[in-house]
Structure 1
Amino acid sequence: MQESTVTIKGQTTLPRDVRAALGLKSGDKVRYVVMNGEVRLLKARPVAELEGVLARPQAEPVGLNAMDEAIAAGAAGAPRRTR
């Protein structure tokens, strides 16, 4: 288990093993997620890196018109069309 000391300014140094595990280098940003009394530390990623993160190779890409139709159908409570 890794630990570090919090300074009077609320600062701490991330242990080397933690930085290595997250692939952090100088200048990187981190995010803190607080859940049920625990904190998770995540490497912040630019939005541009998220391209394709939800991609499913077996599925065809969905166009904007199809998305708009699905949203409208959901809002109206109508059954969704399938291809």
Structure 2
Amino acid sequence: MTTATVTGKGQITIPAQIRAALHVGTGDRVEFVEIEPGRYEFIAATRSLSELKGMFKKPSKSISIQDMNAAIAARGVSAK
């Protein structure tokens, strides 16, 4: 088990072996996801664009910019 110490400012240093395993470095973001009360999962929140490829299906039909703008406008009116 790897441990870290919390500083007076609430900061921790992620041990090198954990940073390497998660492929995180300076400036990268991480997320803390609550799994159950008192238990969290630590997840690297940065991904390269190439990792996102194939995550979403291609739309079944194409939509024009005008149609998108009309849908946004209609939603805006109904939100007021």
TM-score by length of 2: 0.60
Q: Counterparts of 1:34-73 in structure 2 under 5 Å?
A: 34-36=34-36, 37-45=38-46, 48=49, 49-54=51-56, 61-64=58-61
List runs of 5+ in structure 1 lacking aligned partners: 56-60, 66-83
Letter in structure 1 aligned against 2:8: I
Matched position secondary structure for 1:26 = coil
Q: Counterparts of 1:1-83 in structure 2 under 5 Å?
A: 1-36=1-36, 37-45=38-46, 48=49, 49-54=51-56, 61-64=58-61
Letter in structure 2 aligned against 1:2: T
List runs of 5+ in structure 2 lacking aligned partners: 63-80
Shift of 1:50: 2.6
Moved over 6 A (4+): none
Q: Between the two proteins, what is the percent identity of the paired residues?
A: 37
Q: Give the root-mean-square deviation of aligned CA atoms.
A: 2.3
Count of equivalent residues = 60
Q: How far apart in 1 are the matches of 2:54 and 2:15?
A: 32
Cα distance per residue 1:11-51 (max 9 Å; x no partner):
00000111011001111111110111211111113595534
